[in-house]
Chains A and B, each alone.
Chain A
């Protein structure tokens, strides 16, 4: 089933970590397997990378902790070797960490170099995007990664009921659109021409971190935008080129968009005011952050809506 949510403030930064946690926790029943966030703050000159070295449900052998520590140090060394200057490292969990660094080179080069380290997976890379995802519900993940302190302008989130792929962090949403900066997607639905697009995008040089069809949408949209298309145009084109039933939310450094397929078979409820836009699979999630009476509506089939912060 899965649940998706998005929020974009039009009046500066807010406690988006708290807001998104409240929204996702209220939809826990739609997906108890994992929870993910893509949180956006104002763009910085530094690059922020979220990375994982293992999964929370990996088997802990005798050398587990030492191996992770060794691999994390290897990543730091590789960042330095690639010309990055590390400003800050936050170790969230034994297996996941956040690095802030100055770097002018290609994000693809550095992502590939880091993922060459055993078990390493770059969850996000950009100037304003940070993706946090893990097993468990929103309150567990938020507590684990201190998301209650995160402020920002917009965010998307996902609670996952695993169907086609494993219950692990790689299968959790949101997906960063490797190797494009600051693009992420959450999705509720199924793409039926997944292999067609995976092969086509792989031939264009992209690689995928998961077996999940949702990752296709992120890379597909980012590639279209890198060719000069606007987010809205890319999303409109996706309605013709991606088959299946889906509702997805795509975010960039300054915009948030939602698209519904031809059949409108996946739910989405929308609330829009002068200060914010909030959307979710269920209205109960929007009401988790707005305490007064509101008027909401469902976007129709083949509808694409985009808002900027």
Chain B
């Protein structure tokens, strides 16, 4: 098999376990800028190598992955504008560290999906596990089912939209961005959040430290209606708004140059 630029034959993983089949499988059916492949018998590394080969070297911009089988770390590190359709579920750490793609997942995702996502859109048709969109930096993550605990922990930007309920400590240490949660939410919502906005339509079991109700504005209505319109979710329900009370730490949000002016 010819070597492909950038491809490296990997025979051992980080734990020293051999991976004899860590080559680009090249099993996709390619038709113009579209491609489809069956991931049922592929390892995580093979699936990711196939995706990169299609997107980076074959000029494909629309990939359908059949039978991902809830394997972990699938679709990570995709840094190009493209569409990826997973016909099935992903395991832990799915589609993390991405920048730009539009991804649809027909099934569910495990813990820590969309972690550190920079931009793009991920639509998950069913449930998502804990730590969904942890450290999200940009883009939209839409979950049509429920999400687990600590959703959007350390969120730094972007929008998380959940049609179902969310677990405890949702928005823990959130720093920026928005969460639109249509169902009930567990204990400790927005605990120790620095900034950002959380909208909740259902019941809140309890607010976390320094998370307080916020004042509703026209911009909030506009944002929520726009997101519901974009994703074809119908009319949005009534939401409560929660923000940081800014009492927990003696901090300000001034840039260094602004602080000089104040002083």
A residues near B (Cβ < 8 Å) are 262-265, 267, 269, 282-284, 286-287, 293-298, 300-301
Contact = CB atoms under 8 A, between A and B. Distances in A.
- Chain B interface main SS type: loop
A297 B183 CA distance: 15
B129 to A, nearest CB: 5
A264 B148 contact: yes
A269 B127 CA distance: 11
Given A264-B149, A283-B108, A300-B186, 11 more contacts: A264-B130, A264-B168, A265-B149, A283-B89, A283-B110, A284-B69, A293-B88, A293-B107, A300-B149, A300-B168, A301-B187
Contacts of B169: 263
A295 B127 contact: yes
Contacts of B196: none
B197 interface: no
A297 B169 CA distance: 18
B194 interface: no
B53 interface: no
Contact of A296 (B72, B108, B167): B108
Nearest to B15: A29
B145 A297 contact: yes
B197 to A, nearest CB: 23
Interface residues of B, number: 26
B111 interface: yes
Contacts, number: 67
A140 to B, nearest CB: 16
B91 A282 contact: yes
8 contacts: A263-B149, A263-B168, A283-B91, A287-B89, A293-B88, A295-B107, A298-B127, A301-B167
Instruction: From B71, B130, B150, name the one whose CB has the most chain A CB atoms within 10 angstroms.
Output: B130
Nearest to A266: B130
A3 to B, nearest CB: 12
A284 B130 contact: no
Contacts of B150: 264
B129 A298 contact: yes
Contacts of A267: 92, 110-111, 129-130
Given A264-B148, A283-B108, A293-B107, A300 B167 contact: yes
A284 B168 CA distance: 24
Contacts of B127: 295-298
B73 to A, nearest CB: 11
Nearest to B111: A267
Contacts of B85: none
Contact of A295 (B71, B91, B108, B186): B108
Contacts of B34: none
B12 to A, nearest CB: 14
A256 to B, nearest CB: 21
Contacts of B89: 283, 287, 293-294, 296
B126 interface: yes
A262 B126 CA distance: 24
Interface in B160-209: 167-169, 186-187
Contacts of B110: 267, 269, 282-283
A265 B126 CA distance: 21
Contacts of B146: 297
Contacts of A295: 107-108, 126-127
B30 interface: no
Interface in B58-74: 69-72
A299 B91 CA distance: 16
A301 to B, nearest CB: 5
Given A263-B168, A264-B168, A282-B110, A298 B91 contact: no
Contacts of B111: 267
Nearest to A282: B91
A301 B92 contact: no
Given A264-B167, A295-B126, A284 B72 contact: yes
Contacts of B108: 283, 295-297
Given A263-B149, A267-B129, A296-B108, A283 B167 contact: no
A262 B206 CA distance: 13
Contacts of B72: 282, 284
